[in-house]
A and B are shown apart, each in its own frame.
Chain A
Amino acid sequence: MASLEAQTEDLRCVAATRDGRPDAFAGIVGRYQDRIFNTIYRLLGDYQEAKDLTQQTFLKAYMSLARFRGNSSFYTWLYRIGVNAALDERKRRGRNPSFLTDSFALASAEDAGRIRRSSESDDPAEKVLSREREETVTRAIAGLDELHRSVLVLRDIEGMDYEEISEVLSCPRGTVKSRLYRARLALRDRLRDLMT
C-alpha cells in the first residue's frame, strides 16, 4: 500500500521528530490522519469518538516513537496503535452495549450532513439513497465481531494486503485469510437485503 518512497519519507520524519522537530511529526499526521480516522470511524461507527481516538493514536505514536524499531513499516505500526485503540474502546463499550447503538444512531444523524456534502451526486434522491445505503453497510460492519470487523475494514476499506494486515493485527497471514473469509460471509448475511 505504501510505496518505498513514502516509507522512506516516514522514517525521515520519525528521525526528525526524535531530533525535536515537531513540524516533522506534523508531516506524519498530515499524511495519515485521514486513513487512520476513516479506519477508526469504520471500526467504531462514531464520528466524535473516531476523532478523539485518531488524536490519541498520533499522540501515543509520538510518545512511543522511541520504541519504534523499524521492524515493521511505520504506517502499519501506526495502524496497529489506532486499531488497538479502537478495539479497546469497543471493549469498554461492550460493558455498556446500549451506548453503542445510541452513539451509533447519533453518529449517523450527525454525519448525515457531512456525508451529504461530500457526495458527488447531483440527484437528491440518489444522495439520500446512497446515504441510507452507507448507513446500512456501516451498521452491518459494526455488528460484526471485532476480529472479523478489523480484518474486513483493513482489507476491503483500507485496501491493505494480507501481509500488512498480519503486521497490524499481529497475527499470522493464514489467520488473516480465514478470518477475512468468515468476515465476508458474515457481512454478506447481514446485507442480504441490500445486495441483489
Chain B
Amino acid sequence: MNCDAIREQLSAYLDGELEAEEAEQVREHLASCEACRKELASLEELTGVLRALPRHKAPGEIEREVVTYIERDLLLRAPTRSQGWAVVRKTLGMVTLAAASALIAVGVYVQFHQGERASLPEHGAREYFAGKGRDADDLGGSERFKKGADGRDVRRFALMDKTDSLGLKEGDTGLVQSHTEGTPRVAQTVPEGEIVPHAGEATVPGPAVAKALERPTPEIETVVAFDAEQSAAKLSGDTRVGGSQVSPAGPEVFEVVLAADDFESARNRVVAVAASLGVHPVATERSFEYAGKARLPVNGRTSQFWANSWRRDGTIYGEVTGQAGAGPGGPEESRLAAVLAVDEHKLPQLVARLVAQRSRFRGDGYAGDRLRRRDQSGEGEPATEVAHVKAMPSLRVEDRPPDAVEAKLAEAHRAEDRPTEPDESVRQQAEVTRDENLTRSGEREVAPRLSTVLPDGKEKADELATPKDEARQALAPIPPKPAVRDLKETFADEELKQQLQKRIQEVRLVYVRIYLTVPKPPARETAPAAEPPPATRD
C-alpha cells in the first residue's frame, strides 16, 4: 500500500478500530516509513489535545427542573386515554371582595374522565356530571352514574359549597359545556339572561339554572369557611400556623386578584412572573377553548358568569366563575387569567412577586389587589378534587413542626443553590414579556401589600403592608421543599431513605387562580368573550 492509502487508515488505526489484517498492514508500513510515523504522531498529539479539554459539568438546576417537570406532568396527566363522560366536580365555595360588591366565585372542574368510574364516590351530593348527547351513551351500563347516586338527574352542577346545586334538567344546559373533540357542543337558549355566545355557539343556562341563581345568596360568613388571618399568614410565608382547615386530601386553591389596565398584557406578566419561579400555568386565559359568558339576575342584581375550558394532555378542564352584583355599569370586572399549580413553598414568593409587580399591572399605589383563598373545607365531606389529582396520594397540606428528616433536608437544601435561580427564569421571562426588569424588580422589592378579607366581610386593610425588611422577615421561614436531588444524596441511611421517599411523595401543590380586574368601559363589555381564543396553547 502506498502512503496515501495508509494515511487514510491511520486515524482508525490510532483508535484501534481497524480489522486485524488492516492493522497489521499499517504496522508494517509504519515500520518502514518515517513520514507516516510523523503523521501518526501528529494525529496522536491532536487527539491528546482534545482529550485534555476540560469537561464541563452540567449546571445543577437541570436535574431539578427536569424532575419538577416530570412530577407536574404525572400530576396533570389524564388517567386514561379514551374520551368520555365529563365529571364535574365542584371545588369550592365563595369569597368576598371587601369593597362594594360581594363577589361570588364558583369553581367547577370538568374532567373528561373514564376508567376510574368505579372509584367514584357513590354519595352524589358533591359529585356532578355534565354533558349530553353522545357522551351520555358512552356511559353504557353505568346506570348509577347516569342517575347520580341519589337518583336525581345527573346533569347539574353545584353553585356553592354547602348551599345549592343547580339542577339541569333534560334539555337544559350548564354553563359548562362538555365537548370531546374540541368542538363546543350545542347548548340551549333560555329567554332570560343576556348571553354572549362564543365561537358561534351559545351556551346558555337553562331555566333551572336561572331559577337557582335567583335563590337568596347565602350569608357570606357561613360560606367562607376559612380563617382569613391564618390564610394570610400562610400566604405571607408563615407555615407554622397550625390547624389548616383544608380537607386533608384536597389541594388548596388560592385566588389572587390583581388590578390591571389591560387584561392581555397583564396576563402575560402573570405568566412571566410565575415562570421566574419555575411555576408554569396549568392553563391560561389564552388556552381556554371555550368561553361563554352569561349575565343573570341574582338577588335583584345582575351577575356575570364566565365558562372556560381548557385542554391539557387529552383531558378537558373547565371552570365557571361568576361575579355577583357586578352587572352593567359596574366599574370593573374580574376575569380568570391563569390557573397555576404551585409548590406550596413557592406560594409566598409567587404572591410577593405578583404583588410587587402591581405597578406594572396598574398605576402605582393602587390598593385594589386582593388575595383570596378558596378551600374545600366542607364538613365531613370527602375532598372533591379532580380525580387524577387524587391519584397523587400526597396533595396534602398540613402544618406540622419540622422533624429531624425535614431539618436534615433543609440543611441539604441550604447547601445547594436555591431553587429559584434567577438567570434561567429571567431569560424565560424575557421571552414572554421582553421585559427583564419585571422579575428583577420583583426579586428586589419583595414587599407584599396584602389586603385580607376577614370572614365577617370586613377588610383587614393592608395590615400586611410592610416595609421591605419586614416583608423579608415574613418570607424568611419558608421551609425548603425536599427535592429529589436531596433525596438521592441522603440515600446512605436506609431508614432515612424510606422516610424521605414517603416525604417526597407529599408533593405539596396548591392551585392558584389569578384573576385580573380590568376597568370595564360599557362599550367594551362584550368584547372579551366575542374574541375567539386560540384553539390550543402550549
Residue ranges of A at the interface with B (Cβ–Cβ < 8 Å): 17, 20, 22-23, 25-27, 29-30, 33-34, 36-38, 41-42, 47-48, 50-51, 54-55, 58-59, 62, 111, 114-115, 118-119, 134, 137-138, 152, 155-157, 159, 161-162, 177-178, 180-181, 184, 187-188, 191, 194-196
Contact = CB atoms under 8 A, between A and B. Distances in A.
Interface residues of B, number: 39
Contacts of A156: 46-47, 50-51
Interface stretch (B69-77, B217-225, B342-350): B69-77
A157 B50 CA distance: 6
B74 A38 contact: no
B17 A137 contact: no
A162 B73 CA distance: 37
Interface of B: 8, 10-12, 15, 17, 42-43, 45-47, 49-51, 53-59, 62-63, 65-67, 69-71, 73-74, 424, 427, 484-485, 487-488, 501, 504
A138 B53 contact: yes
Given A30-B63, A178-B8, 12 more contacts: A23-B487, A33-B62, A37-B57, A42-B53, A48-B427, A51-B59, A51-B62, A51-B424, A137-B53, A161-B17, A188-B46, A194-B49
A137 B62 contact: no
**Would you call the interface of chain B mostly helix, strand, loop, or mixed?**
helix
B11 A184 contact: yes
Given A37-B57, A155-B15, A184-B11, A25 B46 contact: no
10 contacts: A23-B67, A51-B424, A118-B54, A138-B53, A156-B51, A161-B17, A180-B11, A184-B46, A188-B43, A195-B46
A22 to B, nearest CB: 4
B67 A134 contact: no
B67 A22 contact: yes
B17 A162 contact: yes
Contacts, number: 124
A115 B10 CA distance: 33
B208 to A, nearest CB: 41
A115 B49 contact: no
Contact of B53 (A47, A155, A157, A194): A157
Select the residue from A30, A111, A159 with max chain B CB neighbours within 10 A. A30
Nearest to B484: A26
B17 A20 contact: no
Contacts of B63: 26, 29-30, 33
A34 B57 contact: yes
A153 to B, nearest CB: 9
B46 A37 contact: no
Nearest to A196: B45
Nearest to A153: B50
Given A30-B63, A184-B46, A187-B46, A20 B15 contact: no
**Would you call the interface of chain A mostly helix, strand, loop, or mixed?**
helix
B58 A33 contact: yes
Contacts of A191: 46, 49
Given A29-B66, A184-B47, A134 B53 contact: yes
A37 B43 CA distance: 26
Contact of A152 (B17, B42, B50, B58): B50
A1 B397 CA distance: 46
Given A155-B15, A184-B11, A137 B49 contact: yes
Given A161-B17, A196-B45, A23 B55 contact: no
A26 B42 contact: no
A17 B47 CA distance: 38
B14 to A, nearest CB: 9
A119 B47 CA distance: 20
Top-10 shortest CB links A-B: A37-B58, A156-B50, A33-B58, A181-B11, A22-B70, A29-B63, A58-B66, A26-B484, A26-B67, A162-B17
Nearest to A114: B56
A138 B58 CA distance: 17
Contacts of A20: 74
A161 B70 CA distance: 32
Given A177-B17, A184-B43, A41 B50 contact: no
A74 to B, nearest CB: 16
A34 B55 contact: yes
B49 A195 contact: yes
A68 to B, nearest CB: 15
A30 B56 CA distance: 14
Contacts of A38: 55-58
Contacts of B504: 23
B66 A162 contact: no
Given A22-B70, A26-B488, A37-B58, A195 B45 contact: yes
A134 B54 contact: yes
A188 B46 CA distance: 7
B419 to A, nearest CB: 15
A123 to B, nearest CB: 16
A186 to B, nearest CB: 11
Select the residue from A47, A58, A162 with max chain B CB neighbours within 10 A. A58
Nearest to A119: B54
A62 B17 contact: no
A17 B71 CA distance: 11
A26 to B, nearest CB: 5
A58 B74 CA distance: 15
A141 B417 CA distance: 32
Contact of A34 (B58, B427, B485, B501): B58
Nearest to B43: A184
Contacts of A62: 66, 69-70, 73
Contacts of B66: 25-26, 29, 55, 58-59, 62
A29 B11 contact: no
A58 B73 CA distance: 14
Nearest to A29: B63
Contacts of A42: 53
A58 B56 contact: no
Contacts of A194: 49
